[in-house]
């Protein structure tokens, strides 16, 4: 059973550029959440996608946008990159209408460095 | 606003020396408290979800407990391979928008180092 996968593993971009990160959820999961984790900090919620729509958003500017596809995979887009956007970007998947314990499973992350 | 505070920030143990990690939380009604383990440069690995005060869950050398204001992660006879950052997170019953779809609010983590 494949877990959550993310690509690419590492990325180096220049300030002002745009970046797209990709995520495939765990088999059987229909909901994808994105988090940003700065060095030495806990993950911070960016937004969550379900049924191809953004349904919850954290305190992140509009430069951060996303998309969910019919196969439940998702993309995170960041425009006009700032040095402060350098972080580990994590994708987590879950089941919205599942029975039993609620669990969010994380992918390995994409390390973004902005120079 | 939901808040999660973990203590200590770092903990050094000798192999076999049992101890506990603390997670204090403030949330507008708790819908779930989560524990994760994170190795350097990797994504968090799910450990437990706790739902109500008094609940306990165990996995190998780890046991998580929950009260109305905090959670503890007890580590019994730890081994060097237990060295990692342990993260605690909460899911509120309702967020500021009146809904709860699964946003998790994390603490900053406890860095555990177990020496052989």
| pLDDT band at residue B101 using 50, 70 and 90 as cut-offs | confident
pLDDT tens across A68-109, in order?
999 999 999 999 999 999 999 999 999 876 666 788 999 999
Question: Do the chains contact at B49 and A103, CB–CB below 8 Å?
Answer: yes
Mutation to test the B interface, candidates A7, A42, A47, A105, most B Cβ within 10 Å: A42
Q: Give the Cα separation of B111 and B38 in Å (integer).
A: 9
**Residues B16, B17, B19, B21: is their CA dihedral positive or negative?**
negative
* pLDDT of res. B93: 81
Are residues B102 and A33, on separate chains, in Cβ contact within 8 Å? yes
The percentage of chain A sitting over the pLDDT mark of 70, rounded to a whole number, equals 96
Q: What is the pLDDT of residue B111?
A: 98
Using an 8 Å Cβ cutoff, are A59 and A92 in contact? no
User: Phi, psi at residue A84, to the nearest 5°?
Assistant: -70, -5
Q: Compute the nearest-CA separation of B25 from chain A (Å).
A: 14
Which residues in chain A have Cβ-Cβ distances shorter than 8 Å to B107? 42
What's residue B9's pLDDT? Answer: 97
Q: What is the pLDDT of residue B100?
A: 65
pLDDT at B23: 98
Q: DSSP states of A10-49 as a string?
A: EEEE-TT--EEEEEEPPTT--EEEEEEE-TTS--EEEEEE
A30-54: pLDDT as tens digits: 999 999 999 999 999 999 999 999 9
Average pLDDT estimate for B65-90: 97
d(CA B46, CA B1): 24
Cα-Cα-Cα-Cα dihedral sign, residues B73, B76, B82, B84? positive
């Amino acid at each position: 059973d494949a877990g959550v996968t993310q690509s690419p593993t590492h990325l180096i971009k220049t300030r002002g550029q745009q970046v797209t990160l990709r995520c495939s959820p765990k088999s059987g999961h229909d909901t994808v959440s994105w988090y940003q984790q700065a060095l030495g900090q806990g993950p911070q919620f960016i937004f969550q996608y379900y049924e191809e729509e953004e349904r919850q958003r954290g305190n992140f500017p509009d430069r951060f946008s996303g998309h969910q596809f019919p196969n439940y995979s998702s993309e995170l887009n960041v425009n006009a990159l700032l040095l402060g956007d350098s972080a580990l970007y994590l994708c987590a998947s879950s089941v919205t209408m599942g029975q039993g314990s609620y669990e969010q499973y994380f992918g390995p992350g994409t390390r973004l460095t902005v120079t | 606003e939901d808040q999660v505070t973990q203590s200590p920030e770092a903990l050094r143990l000798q192999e076999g020396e049992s101890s506990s990690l603390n997670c204090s939380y403030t949330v507008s009604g708790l819908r779930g408290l989560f524990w994760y383990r994170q190795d350097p440069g990797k994504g968090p690995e799910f450990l437990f979800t706790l739902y109500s005060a008094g609940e306990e869950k165990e996995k190998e050398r780890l046991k998580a407990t929950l009260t109305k204001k905090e959670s503890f992660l007890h580590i019994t006879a730890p081994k060097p391979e237990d060295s990692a950052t342990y993260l605690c997170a909460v899911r509120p019953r309702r967020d500021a928008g009146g809904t709860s779809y699964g946003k998790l609010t994390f603490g900053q983590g406890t860095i555990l180092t177990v020496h052989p």
